Chain A
Amino acid sequence: MSDRVTGAILVGLALAIGLEASTFEVAFLTDPVGPKALPYLVAVILAGAGAVIALRPRTAPEWPGRPAWRRMGGGALSFLVFAVLLEPAGFFVACTLCVALMSTMFGASRWQSAAAGVGVSAALWGLFVRILALPLPLGDLWTR
């Protein structure tokens, strides 16, 4: 089943790429190949591969159970927390929360994850700001 869905997704992606590429308008012909050729080639390969995968499914991956999905969801969320909070709330808040959430997902207790968050943030601040002299945001919310 997974292979059929994957194949269908690949064919859909190929169609989308092909359609989008067909809208590329070049005012004058800069070179005989043009910007459309490679996207078209990509679309053809993807469509062909997707069709084969959908029509001749081979592998059936073991998808994880619900607790594992929850852990992975938490992990993905922790990455986004870092991305979203980094500039507004600053490095320390973003990094501490991100690492704490991630280590909770790896099974750390509340205190352990808090310690990991604070410890890793301090170590990385030392490495990037003190040693490598690269600025990291302190947070627009506090420094305004």
Chain B
Amino acid sequence: MDALTHLMGGFAVALRPLNLGLAFGGVFVGTFVGMLPGIGPINAIAILIPVIFATGLPPEGALILLAGIYYGSQYGNSISTILLNVPGTASAVVTALDGHAMTRQGRAGPALAMSAIASFVGGTASVFGLVLLAPVLAKWAIRFGPAEYFALMVFAFSALSSLAGGSLVRGLAATAMGLFLATVGLDPNSAIPRFTFGQIKLLDGMDFVVVTIGLFAVSEVLQLLEDTEAGREVQAKVGRVMVSARELTSTGWTMARGSVLGFFVGVLPGAGGTIASFLAYTTEQRVVDREGTFGSGDIRGVAAPESANNAAATGAMIPLLTLGVPGSGTTAVLLGALLGLGVTPGPLLIQEEPDLFWGLAASMYVGNVFLLLLNLPLVGLFVRALTAPRWLLIPGVAALSFVAVYAVNQSPFDLVLMTGFGVVGYAMRKLRFPLAPVILGLVLGPLMEKNLRRSMALSGGEWGILFDSPVALTLWGMAAASLVIPPLLARRTPLPPEADLSEVD
């Protein structure tokens, strides 16, 4: 039980007063930003990342803050989904079905409480999965050479391309755009500038923070300006945020199934949270919905996607932390943040920086506890904040991220670039291009190119090295399968049409 000893050490890190404060602060701020209408976890994280950088915290503390923001923003997203019926991500769309139906019946309180409890169960169960699975995967991945890494990244790209937007062509185009942005700047191997057009400021490459904030946050502000009436009716009265013992026991197995399903779907690259919540919902529909009450305010219809969603979020951390290869938009943003903090995730992370890894695992758990114990009593406060005028909330949050972007690099040029990406992001949303693959391409592109060139240098230009080992061949097979299978499946069970697929997390 090596892992348990390490996890205890992790708790010792996470339970330091400063870190506890950071976990709480992250959860609180994350909930607040994630709750703003239309702003899903990926936007909330994007908005707050430069703020984290600006705080100048040591990596451990920054990571704990980041994990808190991650969980908080997911719960915040559930709040606005349930109360306003404006899911910030595709993964919350199924929560809206029964969650918002409950709100219309005056049962917003139990729906919010159920969402918090299900998130807690999913989050907690999956943290244990992470602790057990991550070291095994890391040990296995230590033998990966550059060829295997290259194949793994191709798999991540193809899976996200085909799953993120519902349209493979658009996903591939978005991935290619991200890869293009990744090539801007000085080529590390040959030291020639690529696509800089003589601009000195572009030599360093595209700053991930600038692209992320532009594509996600700025374009979101534009979208909110397009339809200033959306999600206006705030149900300020939520009643008691509590579930009855009967409701709790009736959802026990639902949450258990949702957590396990969500965790394993989350580990695979692609649109983990969305598919997990959708699968969990349809599974429960088949297993427990005998009276056909799903969709009309059944509390189990909230428990299933919420537990699966959160479990998938933790599951998605496994490939990120142990392989250094994220499989979703949100984890790609997290990778960008980690690299910005000077942490390079990969198979060696657990061995070389055990404090950091286990501290993060423990603080994910602590973040979940905070969510349950502190956010439940505070829901009323958050809801009152939702009734604050839109003209104050959105410009305030937008200005916060602009100032933080400036504070990180001290460059007004970045702010102009960010606005440009905002306009591009808005057009992409309108034209139904997924945004997550752009970020994945940007963050993973340099690593992919490096590994490709390294393996070709090893083989002296012989392309066969890419398909040489059984592991690489398996990964190539999985990449091919991820391109072929989802379109076939989609013909049989289409995703809900109202899903805003540009924001798959």
Where the two chains meet, the residues of A that have a C-beta atom closer than 8 Å to any C-beta of B are 2-3, 6, 10, 17, 20-21, 24-26, 30-35, 37-39, 41-42, 45-46, 48-50, 52-53, 58-59, 61, 63-64, 68, 71-72, 74-76, 78-80, 82-84, 86-87, 91, 95, 98-99, 102-108, 112-113, 116, 119-121, 123-124, 127-128, 132, 134, 136
Chain B positions within 8 Å of A, measured between CB atoms, are 54-56, 167, 169-170, 172-173, 175-177, 179-180, 182-183, 187, 189-190, 192, 194-195, 218, 221-222, 224-228, 389-392, 394-396, 398-400, 402-404, 406-407, 412, 415-416, 418-419, 422-423, 426, 430-432, 445, 448-449, 452-453, 456-457, 460-461
Please name the residue on chain B nearest to A133 by beta carbon.
B56
Chain A's nearest CB lies how many Å from the CB of B97? 23
Please name all residues of chain B whose beta carbon is closer than 8 Å to the beta carbon of A116 when the two chains form the complex: 391-392, 395-396
Q: Are A50 and B187 in contact, CB atoms less than 8 angstroms apart? A: no
CA distance A104 to B395 in the complex (A): 10
**Complex CA distance for A34 and B390, rounded to whole angstroms:** 51
Q: Which among A2, A25, A84, A132 is the interface contact of B56 at CB below 8 angstroms? A: A132
How far in angstroms is the closest Cβ of chain A from B14? Answer: 23
Q: What 6 pairs between A and B have smallest CB-CB spacing?
A: A32-B461, A83-B415, A108-B391, A106-B391, A49-B173, A103-B391
Contact indicator A52/B169 (Cβ below 8 Å): yes
Name 27 A/B residue pairs within 8 A (Cβ), A-sorted. Answer: A24-B192, A26-B190, A26-B192, A31-B453, A35-B192, A38-B445, A38-B452, A39-B180, A42-B183, A45-B175, A45-B179, A46-B173, A46-B177, A49-B173, A58-B167, A59-B432, A72-B222, A83-B415, A84-B412, A95-B403, A116-B395, A120-B395, A120-B396, A124-B403, A128-B403, A132-B54, A136-B406
* Residue from the list B194, B416, B445 in contact with A35, Cβ < 8 A: B194
Judging by beta carbons under 8 Å apart, are B407 and A35 in contact?
no
SS of B interface (majority): helix
- In the assembled complex, the Cα of A49 lies from the Cα of B423 at a distance in Å of 21
Interface centre among B182, B391, B416, B419 (most CB of A within 10 A): B391
State whether B407 touches A134 (Cβ < 8 A): yes
Contact between B430 and A72, CB atoms less than 8 A apart: no
Decide if A38 touches B183 in the complex (CB within 8 Å).
yes
Instruction: Please tell me if the beta carbons of B452 and A76 are within 8 angstroms of each other in the complex.
Output: no
| Min CB gap B16→A, angstroms | 20
**Contact with B395, one of A21, A31, A99 (Cβ below 8 angstroms):** A99
Known: A35-B192, A83-B416; 10 extra A-B contacts, CB below 8 A, are: A20-B195, A26-B192, A46-B180, A49-B172, A72-B426, A106-B391, A106-B395, A128-B54, A128-B404, A132-B55
Contact B173 A41 (CB under 8 A): no
Which one, A17, A24, A103, contacts B392 given CB within 8 A? Answer: A103
A103 B400 Cβ-Cβ under 8 A: no
Total inter-chain residue pairs, C-beta < 8 Å: 191
B430 and A61: CB pair below 8 A? yes
Residues of chain A within 8 A of B56, CB atoms compared:
132
Question: Would you call A68 and B225 a contact (CB within 8 A)?
Answer: yes
Residue pair B173, A107 in contact (C-beta under 8 Å): no
A76 vs B286: C-alpha distance when bound (angstroms): 47
Minimum C-beta distance from B476 to chain A (A)? 16
Q: Are A2 and B399 in contact (CB under 8 A)?
A: no
A-side contacts of B422, CB under 8 Å: 76, 79
Report the minimal beta-carbon distance from A94 to chain B, rounded to whole angstroms: 9
- Contact indicator B456/A31 (Cβ below 8 Å): yes
If the complex has contacts A68-B226, A82-B402, are A32 and B456 also in contact, measured as CB distance less than 8 A? yes
> When the two chains form their complex, are residues A25 and B192 in contact, meaning their CB atoms are under 8 A apart?
yes
Q: In the assembled complex, which residues on chain A have CB atoms less than 8 Å from the CB atom of B456?
A: 31-33
Q: Contact between B453 and A33 (Cβ–Cβ < 8 Å)?
A: yes
Find chain A residues with CB under 8 A from B395 CB.
78, 98-99, 102-103, 106, 116, 120
**Which chain B residues border A112 with CB–CB below 8 Å?**
389, 391-392
Chain B residues within an 8 Å CB radius of A37: 449, 452
Bound form: Cα–Cα A71–B190 in Å? 46
Q: Quote the shortest CB–CB distance from B436 to chain A (angstroms).
A: 16
Query: Roughly how many angstroms separate A61 CA and B500 CA in the complex, as a whole number?
Result: 12
A79 and B418 contacting across the interface, CB-CB below 8 Å: yes
- Expressed in whole angstroms, the Cα–Cα distance for A133 and B396 within the complex equals 20
| A130 vs chain B, min Cβ distance (A) | 13
Q: State in angstroms the CA–CA spacing of A123 and B397 once bound together.
A: 11
Residues of A within 8 A of B426 (CB): 72
Query: Judging by beta carbons under 8 Å apart, are A71 and B176 in contact?
Result: no
Q: Which residues of A contact B167 (CB under 8 A)?
A: 58
A112 to B176, alpha carbons, bound, how many Å?
Answer: 44
Say yes or no: A71 contacts B228, CB within 8 Å: yes
Q: Are A79 and B218 in contact (CB under 8 A)?
A: yes
A102 touches B394 (CB 8 A): yes
